[in-house]
Every structure is written in C-alpha cells, then in structure tokens.
Structure 1
Amino acid sequence: MTIVPLVKVNLVGILEDKDKVLEATQEFGALHLIPLTSAQKELEAVPAGRGREASEALRWLMDSKAQRRPVTHLDDFDLETVVEKTLANRKALRDFEDRVARLDQRIQDVEPWGEFSFSDLAEIGEHRLWFYVVPNAKIKLIDPSDKILEIVHRDKYRSYIVLLSPEEPATNAMPVPRVHVGAEALSVLRRQHEDATIQLEELELQRQALTKWRFVLAQNLAAARDHSARHRASLETADTEQVFVLQAWARQDQVAEVRTLSDSLGIALLVTDVEEADAPPTLLDNRPALEAGEDLVEFYQTPGYRGWDPSAIVYVSFVIFFGMIMTDAGYGLLLLLLLYLFRARFKGSALGRRMFRMSVWLMISTAAFGVATGSYFGVAPPEGTFLARLKVLHLKDVDTMMKITLTIGVTHIVIANLMRAWHETSLSGRLQPVGWCLVALGGLATFLGQGTSIAVAGPVAVVAGLLLVGIFGSDRKVTSLKTGGLRVFDGLASLARIVNIFSDVLSYMRLFALGLAAASLAETINSLSGQLNHAVPGVGLLIAIAVLVLGHAINIGLGLIAGCVHGLRLNVIEFFNWGLKDEGTPFRPFKKEETRL
C-alpha cells in the first residue's frame, strides 16, 4: 500500500532519430510522458480515418456466438475488404432480423383470418372486403339485416368478421373500427418468412466465417492506435533545428532500466528528482490480493502524489459494508456458487481476475453477516440449532444496531484522519486531524456511555479536539495584528466542519437501514409466498414458487445495487473527505497495446 516514488527523466537526441526513440520508448512501456508543447490544433487538423469503422467491425465479430479458429498471419489479410464485408454483414443481418420479426407479427395477425386472396372486383360485383375483430360481448350490437358478413374465426374472446361492401362502412356500422389485414395471403407471408429465415442463417454463417480475421484485425487496430499515440507524442516534444527533448515521469526504481534504454539508443539522459513546483502523476502499488482497491479508489478520485494510498483500507471497508447491506447467508452462498460456475469468464484480463477475487470476498462477507444476523433467504434458523447459536446480531434491535453502525462510522473517519495526520508535514496539518479524531471519539463516548463515567470523558475529548482544531486551524505566522486576526478567522472557519463530521458519522446508519430493509423484504416475500400456497390449493404451490424466485431475485438485485452504491459511497465521500487532501492524476504509461487470442 504505497504511492510509488517517481523521478523526472529527459531524453535528448538528434531530431532525425525521434521516431526511432518514440517507438523504443513505447516498447519499453514504463514512462508517463510530459507534454512540452501543445499538439491539440495539429491533432484536430488530422482527418479521421477508418479506425472507428474497424473498431465497430471487430466488436461485431467478437460478439458472435460462433467463433472460427483465428488466423494469426497477415499474408491474405486485406483490412479494407474485411472491414467493408463485416459492416455490410452487420447491416444485412440486422435488416433481416427486423424483416423476420415483422413477418412473424404479420403472420400472427393474419392467421385467424385463414388462407385467402382478394378476388377481382368485377367478380364480386365491385364489392370490397372489410375486416373487423369484434369482442364476443359486442356481437349482439351488430345488425345483420342490412349487411353481408361472415364470421370466419372465433376464439374465447374475439370474433373475426369479414364484411362485404362496395364502400367502407360508416364508423357506426360496426361496434369496433376496422383492421388492416394487408393484401398478401397467409401462404405468401409464410413463404417470405421461410426465405428471410434462410437468408438470416446464411448471414450468420458469413459472420462466423469472418470471425477468423478477428485477431489480425485487432492487431491492425492496436498498431494504428500505437501509431496515433506516437504521432501525438511526437507533436508534444520540445524540438529545435537539430535536437529534440522527450520528458517523462519514471519509477525511481527503474532509473537503471531507463539508462540502459538511453544507452542502447545512443541518446542523452538527464534524471532529476521531484521538485516542490512539480505535479507528478500518482502510481499506486499494492499486493495482488488488494489490487482491486486501486480500481475502487481511482473510480472516484486519484490521491495526490504527496498524499497516501487508501486502496487497502477502501478495499477492506467496502467488503465489510457490502456484506452488512446484503446481510443474507443464502444470497451470499448462491452468488458465490454462480461466481464459481462462471469463473472462466473472468480469466481473460487482469481487471477481470481482480474483479473476480473481490467479488468472492464480497459474497463471503455477505454470507458471514447473514450467519451473524441469522438470515437464510429471509428464514431464521430454528431455536436451539447450531446456526441459531451463531446469530449474534439482531437487526430489529434498533438501539444496538445504531450503536454498532455509529461505532463503525466513527472508526472509519478516525482512521481517515489518523492517516492524513501521519502523512502531513506541517504542525497544523498533523494536529487538525488529531483534533477531529478527539471530537469524533468524544461524541461516540458521550452517546455510548450515557449514565456511566465514560459519558463525562466524552465532552472533555470533544472540547479538547475543538481547541486543537481552532488553535491549529491555520499555518499563518502571527507578525502583526492583521495576521493574528486572520489566523483567528481561519481557526473559526475550520471549526465549521463540526457539522460535516456529525452528518458524515450519521451517514453510516445507512448500513443498518439498508440491511434491515433487505432482511424485511426477504421475510415479506416468504410470508406472501406461504399465504398464496394456502389460499389457492394445488396451483397455489406453483404461484408461491414463482413469487419466491422472482421476489428473491429482485431483492438480490436491489441488494447488489445498494451494496455497490452505498458501500462505495461511504468510502469515496465520507472517508475521502477526511482522509485525502489533494486530488492527483493517474500514472498512464506510454506503451503499446496488447493483442490476445
């Protein structure tokens, strides 16, 4: 859990060697480039190529369910032809999918009328056919004495009536408006549907055949993006008539490797340490087990280079908060089983493996809190059983759960302040967070120790903390009456955050509220299912099972959303608010894209 120390490197070479240096630097893949000139105007002037079309073509091939063995050589590959064929296949396939869907609907609409075709008007005395779908309850409203009509089909709810008339009947002639059946016979529609379905299968086979080019297409795209990145980097170097300077940030422990790179290229290298005026990017470095914490942190805010890395704390607290919100052992074990069954889908990338590892811990946390609260798909274990003895938390005990969640909130915020104080360099920067720790702990002691001697120590800690915050609320040196007054003003302004710490601690009560809501909803689903089973004998069992499955699926979905949103929010809002001082920019190495089969 650390922010990697960086150094600034300057690569100086002959201008005619710049392309070679940039390609080697990109191959090296460990430098964060620093733009020395603005290249925005030049980049905007470059016309867009076929990169977007090629990306869409690759995505279309990768999404195909059936995949052919990929070609790995470029001998017969023509980028323009493959992209053109793939995009044409996508358009045609989507058009035929729409056509099949329209024909399905047309056939469904025409089937009740049976097989018919329109005769020549002269054969039927210049009469036309008019079609009506009439609810059976309204049949009695039709007066057949002045109409030529026939009921050609009838089901449980509707009658399908054909009326013969030279002109369209008046709107009040029938109890419902007429429907448009179309001029094509049912057999014609079925033949068109068959032809469209066959063509759709042909297009699917064509798409499958094109998937053999997906790897070389991805290679070409990666090479094009690499070339674009080098072009941008080339525009952002500092150039003179004969010499160019490429400036970048590098890991302090990789200086020897950078020096080897510069020696192999025959260019000069100048390495300098980070200066006070510099704003280096932030490179986080954690053990593989905690790497997902970096993704959680950078999802909202990258800490400043001179700050500290909260990845491990955020990772552990997010897992705990998520489990408290879901809080059902049945849900946790079910989702853990699904993760195991679909584990192969996460192995394709480093991000997928990190997310899988974190998801496993989230489900373990959910199951653990479910055991602690005695909830198994909303069912409590019978009294006297082993599982019942493991129940140590009672969600409906509001007083106890409030104390637990507020204690968690205070602990979380105190950790944030202590970490900030540890990494500050000034006296006020160190003592202000300590003051807020005393305020938070004193408030908690006052709340928990009501009626005991601890309740007396609580207000003392609060006052001591506020004095620390007020006295060390500024770094100003008092050299005159004016600066003294400004220091007092700064101290009073910093005391205003007492409202923030109070509201932030109360925010952690959402852990209890959401956990109780999830458990109560699970119990309600079980109760409703049982009532339906008893109310409707026989078929009621099927309805009850459907309610159970659908209800718990919805509850799991809501729990996943709430666990992610609120579990992460308590870290990136409340925790970051007290723990991180500055926001930084992530370290983005200048490197080539990877292409995998």
Structure 2
Amino acid sequence: MTIVPLVKVNVVGILDDKEKVLETAQAFGMLHLIPLTSAQKDLEAVPQGLGRDAASALRWLMDCPAQRRPVTDHDRFDLDAVVAQTLENRKALKSCEDLIAWLGQRIRDVEPWGEFSFSDLAEIGDNRLWFYVVPTAKLKHVDPADKILEIVHKDRYRSYIVLLAPEEPPVSAMPVPRVHVGAESLSTLKRRHDDALIELEELELERQMLTKWRYVLAQNLAAARDRSARQRAGLETADVERLFVMQAWARRDQTEEIQDFAAEHDIAVLFEEVSQEDAPPTLLENAAAVEAGEDLVEFYQTPGYRDWDPSAIVYVSFVIFFGMIMTDGGYGLLLLLLLYLFRKRFAGSDLGRRMYRMSVWLMISTTAFGVATGSYFGVAPPPDSFLGHLKFMDLKDVDAMMKITLAIGVLHIVLANLVRAYHAETPSGRYQPVGWCLVALGGLATFLGAGTFLAEAGPAAVVLGLLTVGFYGSDRKVDSVRSGGLRVFDGLAALARIVNIFSDVLSYMRLFALGLAAASLAETINNLSGQLNAAVPGIGILIAIAVLTLGHGINIGLGLIAGCVHGLRLNVIEFFNWGLKDEGKPFRPFKKEETRL
C-alpha cells in the first residue's frame, strides 16, 4: 500500500494544435490536469456538452415502453442529429403532456357553464359577464335586487351563476369571489384537447422510431463524453499569443513515457518536483487482493498526498467488522452461493471485479464468525456435534463479548496511531500518537487485568501516555515566558482528546450489539414460525415457511445494511480520526472512457 509519487508536467505547444494535443493526451490517459485559467465562473458556466446530452437522450430512449429493432450500422448514424432530435422529442412530448393536463382541467372548470362565447360589448350595452360558483349553503345570501343574474347550472353542492354588469361588482355583492372562466369556449377547449392528444400520439410514435438508434448511441456515448471533457479541458489551459500551456500531475515513474509522448507529437515538456506550496492529488496503489480498499477509503475521504495509504488496513478491518455484525454461518453460505451464481454480472468492469472479490471475503468472514458463535439461520447446533465443537464464542455472554469488542477497538486505534507516528516528520507528530497508544493500552489493561499485575501497570501506562501527549502537545519553540505559556496551553489542548479516545473505543461495542441483535432476531423468527406451525394444523407449515423466508430475508437485508454502514463507519470515523492528519483530493486522469457495449 502506497501513495504514488507525482511530478508536475508543463506542456507547451502551438495554439492551432491544441485540440489535437488534448485528444492525444486524453488517449494517453496518464495526466491529472491542473486548471490554469482564472475565469472560474466562465468555466462553471460552460454547459456539460454533448456527453450529458447523449446520456439523457439514451436514457429517454431506453425508457420507451415500445422498442424498435436496433440499427447496428455505424455508417448510418449521426450522433449530433440523433441526440438533438431525441432531446427535442422529449421536450415536445413533456410540453404536450402538460398542455393536455392543463386543457383537461380547463374543460372540467368550464363544462358546468355550458357552451358560450363572448358577444361584442356594444351588442349587450357594454355589459360584461361575471362568473360565480356559489355553494348551496350560501345561495340564500345572494340578493337578486338590482342585479341581472342567471343560474346556468346547478348540482347537489353548488350553483353556477352568471352576473351581467358593465364593471366588476364589489366584493360585497356576492357571498363568494368571482372565478375566471377564460375567453375560450368549451368547444374550442375540447378541440384543442383532441389536437393535443393526436400530437402526443405522433410524438410517442416518433420516440419509438428513434429507439432504433439506442444501440449505436450507447456505443458512441463514451465518445460524446470524451468530446465534452476535451472542450472543458481546453478552457483550463493558458493561451498566450500563438502558444498554449497545459499543466498536469503525473506519476514520477512515467516521465520517460511522457517524454516519448511529447517527442512523438512535437510538443515541449518540462518536469517539476513537488514543492511545499503544492497540493498534489493523491494516487493510491495497492495489490489486486486489497485493491477494493481504495474504493472504501475514497468513499469517505482521500488521504493527503503527504499522508499514508490506509487502504489495506481498512479493507481487512472492514471484512472482519462486517463478519462480526452479520455473524451467521447460514447467511454467509447462502450469500456465497448467490455470489457464485451471479458472478458473471461482476465481470464487466474493474470495479465490478474488485467488488466481487471483496464480497466473497465479506461472506467468508460472516460464515467464519457464524461458525465461531454457533449460529446457522438462528439455529444453534447440538453441543456434542461437529459444528457444536467448532463454537468457541457465545454472543449471549455479555461480559466476554464486551471485553473482545473493546480490545478490538483499542487495537484498531493503537494501530492507527502507530502508523501515523511512523509516517510523521516532527517530534509532536511522532510522540503524541505514541502517548495515545499508551493511554489506550493502559486503559484496556486496567479493565481486563483485574487481580493481576496489569491492574497496576495499566494506570501507570495511562499516566505516562498523558504526560507524553501533554509534553509533545506541539512543536512550539520555548524561548520566552509567553511562548512557554503557549506551549503549556498546547499541551492541555492536546490532552482534551482523552474524551475522544474514550468515546471512540466505546463505539466498537456496536460490533457486539449488532451481532447479538441479528442473532436474536433470527432466533425469534424461528420460534415464531414454529409456533405458527403448531397453532394451525395442515396449512400452518406453509405459513411457517412464508414467515421463515420473509423474516430471514429481512434479517439478511438489515445485516447487510448494518455491516456496510457500521463496518465502514468504524474505519472512516474512528480509525481515520486517529490515523490521518490531512484530507486530499483523488487523482483523476484525463483519459478516454471505456466503451461498454
């Protein structure tokens, strides 16, 4: 496990060749570009380009209920035209659906008033029509005196009244405010509604026709995204007169390849070592067996370039913690079988293969802890059986399980501090973690060693650890009374973390609590199904099987969630809190996307 050393690469080329250089650099795929432009707002305002549009278009076509036979001939395919036509179809179809919904509501609102059209004002003495929907209970409050009105429709709950007046009547004239019916007649609205339905059918037919391009569009999607990435990368270069400058980070062990690449494409390249002012991205590199640990680490926090790579430790500890939380041999073997049956689903990408290897180890860990605790779908084997002899842990032994989980927590945090001390470069960075190791181990020895010499050595280790932490609270040089006081303050501030180490160690008790909860729930499900079988003769066996299937399915789902969330949380919260000092940004090479057919 290591963080790969990087160098800064400066590329200088002719401005007219920039697009060609960017395309070849993208195919080269070894450079993490450094933005040189100061116009960040302009850069953010640049649209995502055809890549995002092509993805949206493909999703729109794939979601179409009716699919046409796909075209596989690339010569007949125009990416820009198909994407534009598909997105226009989606926009028009959604607008048409909105119009149909609006017209439907307008028809329902106007229908009670019947078919009418507004006459010329001069024909009706410059009077206007004012519309009111009056609930039946308020109809008695309508005073017809000095008003020209007509009830044009009436149902069980309301009356539809038209009032004739040159100006809008005052609010007090009617018991309810007037409603806006609109100028379009009912027949006009229905005709527009029918036209919109016809247009919707035509648009749906056009969408079906466009689905024939889904296959070649999926193949060209990566190319579209690559083009968009090049467009954005072109805005991040510094262009001066006829030249452009592109800056990037690259692996130090690939400098010769980069030089050969530059010579092949007639561009100048200059390498710079990482300086203290630089903040390079972090490129993690691990053996294939623990490579999935990089995904676990970067899921929460990428370590800084000058820090260390915790991927292997996080991978192993996550596998162990997951197994302790699931802790059922039957569940582990069942999930192993499912992984084997669906193994081809993971073979399509590097990420899938990494996840498959890790999942297998997670299930092996679950099976191993299930065997150790004697739990198989919540059933304990007889003590004199072969499986019974393999059991050496009892989840219901609260005292023993508390000691085991607290010991695991202490060892995990001590490991984090030791690795941090090993990679530190200052006295404070080296000895402060050692002091916390003494505090954690001393506290554990005091808890576990009651009645032994550890009970006396433990408190001494705690005191020695706290003195070490306080003395090396900082690297501030003491050359005056003021600096001496500040150094004392630094030591006291460092000692305040004793609360953190105490609470972090206690957090590991969730391993025991969640494992016990999963085992207890499995046992409860078995008891419940047995009671149902006995209570309902005959059909009870079917009910019991349904309860067993559903209950254990839910328990497995809860176990998977708990194992992932809490198993990962103990690594990225508690472990990272004591093991890492800097947060970095991941190394993202400027490269072409893989084409997935």
Give the 3 Å change call, closer, same or farther, for CA 87–290 of structure 1 in structure 2.
Answer: farther
Quick one: distance in 1 between partners of 2:326 and 2:64? 35
User: Which aligned pairs between 1:97-136 and structure 2 lie closer than 5 A?
Assistant: none
Deviation at 1:356, TM superposition (A): 1.1
Equivalence for 2:339: 339
Q: TM-score with structure 1 length normalisation?
A: 0.78
Deviation at 1:59, TM superposition (A): 2.6
Quick one: distance in 2 between partners of 1:169 and 1:28? 76
User: Which aligned pairs between 1:151-550 and structure 2 lie closer than 5 A?
Assistant: 213-550=213-550
Deviation at 1:287, TM superposition (A): 1.1
Quick one: distance in 2 between partners of 1:87 and 1:564? 42
Equivalence for 2:81: 80
Q: Greater CA deviation, 445-454 or 217-226?
A: 217-226
Quick one: distance in 1 between partners of 2:393 and 2:236? 60
Amino acid at match of 2:590: F
Equivalence for 1:162: none
Equivalence for 1:182: none
Quick one: distance in 2 between partners of 1:282 and 1:69? 43
Deviation at 1:348, TM superposition (A): 1.6
2:583 aligned counterpart, secondary structure = coil
Amino acid at match of 1:562: A
Give the 3 Å change call, closer, same or farther, for CA 507–40 of structure 1 in structure 2.
Answer: same
Quick one: distance in 1 between partners of 2:41 and 2:340? 50
Question: For each residue in 1:353-397, what CA deviation from the matched residue of structure 2 results, as whole angstroms up to 9, or x when unmatched?
Answer: 111111111111111100000000000001210000000100000
Question: For each residue in 1:534-574, what CA deviation from the matched residue of structure 2 results, as whole angstroms up to 9, or x when unmatched?
Answer: 11111211111111111111111111110011000000000
Equivalence for 1:584: 584
Amino acid at match of 2:275: E
1:533 aligned counterpart, secondary structure = helix
Equivalence for 1:113: none
Equivalence for 1:111: none
Quick one: distance in 2 between partners of 1:302 and 1:445? 34
Quick one: distance in 1 between partners of 2:52 and 2:228? 13
Quick one: distance in 1 between partners of 2:50 and 2:272? 41
Q: Greater CA deviation, 33-42 or 65-74?
A: 65-74
Deviation at 1:91, TM superposition (A): 9.8
Amino acid at match of 2:59: R
Quick one: distance in 1 between partners of 2:30 and 2:79? 33
Equivalence for 2:170: none
Amino acid at match of 1:464: L
Deviation at 1:461, TM superposition (A): 0.8
Give the 3 Å change call, closer, same or farther, for CA 90–34 of structure 1 in structure 2.
Answer: closer
Equivalence for 1:152: none
Quick one: distance in 1 between partners of 2:353 and 2:413? 30
User: Which aligned pairs between 1:43-82 and structure 2 lie closer than 5 A?
Assistant: 43-46=43-46, 51-61=51-61, 71=72, 73-77=74-78, 79-81=80-82
Quick one: distance in 2 between partners of 1:48 and 1:472? 50
Quick one: distance in 2 between partners of 1:514 and 1:67? 50
Quick one: distance in 2 between partners of 1:48 and 1:570? 37
Residue pair 2:262, 2:269 contacting (<8 A) in 1 also: yes
Amino acid at match of 2:81: E
Residue pair 1:57, 1:87 contacting (<8 A) in 2 also: no
Residue pair 1:54, 1:221 contacting (<8 A) in 2 also: yes
2:308 aligned counterpart, secondary structure = coil
Q: TM-score with structure 2 length normalisation?
A: 0.78
Residue pair 2:322, 2:564 contacting (<8 A) in 1 also: yes
Residue pair 1:215, 1:596 contacting (<8 A) in 2 also: no
2:244 aligned counterpart, secondary structure = strand
Quick one: distance in 2 between partners of 1:306 and 1:561? 33
Aligned length: 498
Question: For each residue in 1:91-127, what CA deviation from the matched residue of structure 2 results, as whole angstroms up to 9, or x when unmatched?
Answer: 989x99xxxxxxxxxxxxxxxxxxxxxxxxxxxxxxx
Q: Percent identity?
A: 73
Quick one: distance in 1 between partners of 2:18 and 2:210? 38
1:552 aligned counterpart, secondary structure = helix
Quick one: distance in 1 between partners of 2:504 and 2:68? 52
Equivalence for 1:184: none
2:75 aligned counterpart, secondary structure = coil
Amino acid at match of 1:391: K
Quick one: distance in 2 between partners of 1:515 and 1:473? 39
Deviation at 1:82, TM superposition (A): 6.5
Q: Greater CA deviation, 402-411 or 348-357?
A: 348-357
Question: For each residue in 1:232-265, what CA deviation from the matched residue of structure 2 results, as whole angstroms up to 9, or x when unmatched?
Answer: 2222222221322111100000000111111112
2:395 aligned counterpart, secondary structure = coil
Deviation at 1:218, TM superposition (A): 3.1
Quick one: distance in 1 between partners of 2:45 and 2:580? 40
2:233 aligned counterpart, secondary structure = helix
Quick one: distance in 1 between partners of 2:243 and 2:155? 87
Amino acid at match of 2:38: S
Deviation at 1:313, TM superposition (A): 0.4
Quick one: distance in 1 between partners of 2:47 and 2:61? 26
Give the 3 Å change call, closer, same or farther, for CA 376–447 of structure 1 in structure 2.
Answer: same
Q: Greater CA deviation, 10-19 or 219-228?
A: 219-228
Give the 3 Å change call, closer, same or farther, for CA 46–92 of structure 1 in structure 2.
Answer: closer
Residue pair 1:215, 1:595 contacting (<8 A) in 2 also: no
Residue pair 1:39, 1:232 contacting (<8 A) in 2 also: no
Give the 3 Å change call, closer, same or farther, for CA 44–436 of structure 1 in structure 2.
Answer: closer
2:10 aligned counterpart, secondary structure = strand
Deviation at 1:169, TM superposition (A): 9.6
Structure 2 spans left out of the alignment, 5+ residues = 98-153, 158-199
Amino acid at match of 1:245: V
Quick one: distance in 1 between partners of 2:480 and 2:44? 54
Equivalence for 1:142: none
Question: For each residue in 1:441-488, what CA deviation from the matched residue of structure 2 results, as whole angstroms up to 9, or x when unmatched?
Answer: 111011010111111111111111111100011000111111111111
Residue pair 1:79, 1:217 contacting (<8 A) in 2 also: no
Quick one: distance in 2 between partners of 1:501 and 1:300? 21
Deviation at 1:13, TM superposition (A): 2.0
Quick one: distance in 2 between partners of 1:361 and 1:453? 39
Deviation at 1:577, TM superposition (A): 0.1
Give the 3 Å change call, closer, same or farther, for CA 78–397 of structure 1 in structure 2.
Answer: closer
1:74 aligned counterpart, secondary structure = helix
RMSD over aligned CA atoms reads 2.9
Deviation at 1:284, TM superposition (A): 0.3
Amino acid at match of 1:263: A
Quick one: distance in 2 between partners of 1:303 and 1:381? 45
Quick one: distance in 1 between partners of 2:238 and 2:391? 67
Give the 3 Å change call, closer, same or farther, for CA 581–77 of structure 1 in structure 2.
Answer: same
